Amino acid sequence: MDITQLSPAAGGAYQLLDSGDGRKLEQFGDRLLVRPEPQALWRPEKPEWWQKADAIFAGKNEDDDGGQDGGQWQLKTNKPDAWLFSHDRLTFQCRLSGFRHVGVFPEQSPQWQWLERVINAAPKPVRVLNLFAYTGVASVVAAAAGAHVTHVDSAKKAIQHARDNAQMNNVAADKIRWICDDVRKFVGREVRRGAVYEMIILDPPKFGRGAQGEVWKFFEHIHELMIQCESILSDNALGLCLTSYALRASSLSLHGLLHDVMAKRGGSIVVGELVVPQKNSSRALSCANFGIWSAHDKLRP
């Protein structure tokens, strides 16, 4: 089994400028941000660059059990706390949130490109189910490529942010179905209804709560959810993409999970890490692990 590294294209709207001492200095469009990064076990290479940051998140990173240590953004300039971020021909809104996130995860851009390529090449219609869909970057990418998307997240604010992203990119209203619900409950209903999709995207947190306070724990619930997802893939299924930011869930464990769930469908499995290279440096940061099942080798990322 090969472990694949997927990285954002160099020179895009996002760049990792420097890292070290448990932090990272990032460029998001016209913003320079400093955020926690526990994997940066080294010293910064360009300490003078850090003085130019527009905002610094003061606080610890989320721990591996999904807890929140809290923190807040310290604004160093007068720039607003929301701005636009471009990816290919699409534009998304970034915002400084209370948990160090900004609404876009640039390390996932190779997955967005894979999603777009597969949809563009497939006979239409392509139905995509996006679970734990957050601010909807993947939903907008899929819809812009011609898919019909069901976007599911339990947070109303995240869904409104996703709606704003869709409207900003002139996505037709009938291209995305917005569902504010607990993911496990929604998928269970889809199984009972006999709904089917050609592609499923999952980006589950380590720990979360549903719309009615339902508890999600990655290591307790992911296997059952994946079994249900396999059952609602159509006979003409194209692919399934799982991203994990749970540090104990290695690429090897994701391969075992996908092989167990998808074995009867054949196809191929690619697992690896989403990696961000540091600008003008030999350093890189591993942000997450991923696993992608593709129905055919030509659909592999």
Segment 153-165 shows an average pLDDT of: 96
Whether 171 and 191 have beta carbons less than 8 Å apart is answered as no
Q: Is the per-residue pLDDT at 210 higher than 90?
A: no
pLDDT band at 11 (very low <50, low <70, confident <90, very high): low
Residues whose CB is less than 8 angstroms from the CB of residue 167 and which lie 6 or more positions away in sequence, other chains included: none
The 10 Å CB-count burial string (b at 16+, else e) for 36-68 is bbeebeeebbeeeebeebbbbbebebbeeebee
pLDDT band at 70 (very low <50, low <70, confident <90, very high): low
Q: Is the per-residue pLDDT at 67 higher than 60?
A: no
- Structure confidence at residue 6 (pLDDT): 83
Compute the residue count for the chain: 301
Helix (H, G, I), strand (E, B) or coil at 11: coil
State the DSSP string of 248-263. Answer: TS-HHHHHHHHHHHHG
Q: Which two tokens stand for residue 296?
A: 């055919």
Q: Is the per-residue pLDDT at 147 higher than 90?
A: yes
- Structure confidence at residue 17 (pLDDT): 97
Distance in Å from the first CA to the final CA of the chain: 15
Q: Is the per-residue pLDDT at 296 higher than 60?
A: yes
- Structure confidence at residue 88 (pLDDT): 87
Q: Is the per-residue pLDDT at 59 higher than 50?
A: yes
Could you give the strand order of the β-sheet that contains 23-28, starting from the edge strand earlier in sequence?
A: 14-20, 23-28, 31-36, 55-59, 71-75
Q: Which CATH architecture has domain 13-95?
A: Sandwich (2.60)
State the DSSP string of 91-119. Answer: EEEEE--TTS--S--GGGHHHHHHHHHHH
**How is residue 267 annotated by DSSP?**
-
Segment 44-50 shows an average pLDDT of: 96
Q: Is the per-residue pLDDT at 68 higher than 60?
A: no
Distance CA 120, CA 35 (A): 35
Segment 72-100 shows an average pLDDT of: 91
- Structure confidence at residue 191 (pLDDT): 98
Distance CA 244, CA 257 (A): 12
Distance CA 181, CA 150 (A): 12
Segment 95-110 shows an average pLDDT of: 91
| Whether the predicted model's global pTM rises above the 0.75 cut | yes
Segment 63-81 shows an average pLDDT of: 72
Neighbours of 14 (CB within 10 A): 20
Identical fold for domains 13-95 and 106-299, yes or no, is no
Percent of the chain with pLDDT over 70: 95
Q: What is the mean pLDDT of the chain?
A: 92
What residue segments make up the domains of the chain, in order of their start?
13-95, 106-299
Pick the CATH number of 106-299 from 3.60.110.10, 3.30.420.10, 3.40.50.150, 3.30.420.40: 3.40.50.150
Tens digit of each residue's pLDDT (9 = 90 or more) over 241-280: 999 998 788 999 999 999 999 999 999 999 999 999 999 9
Q: Which two tokens stand for residue 70?
A: 């809290």
- Structure confidence at residue 63 (pLDDT): 46
pLDDT band at 132 (very low <50, low <70, confident <90, very high): very high
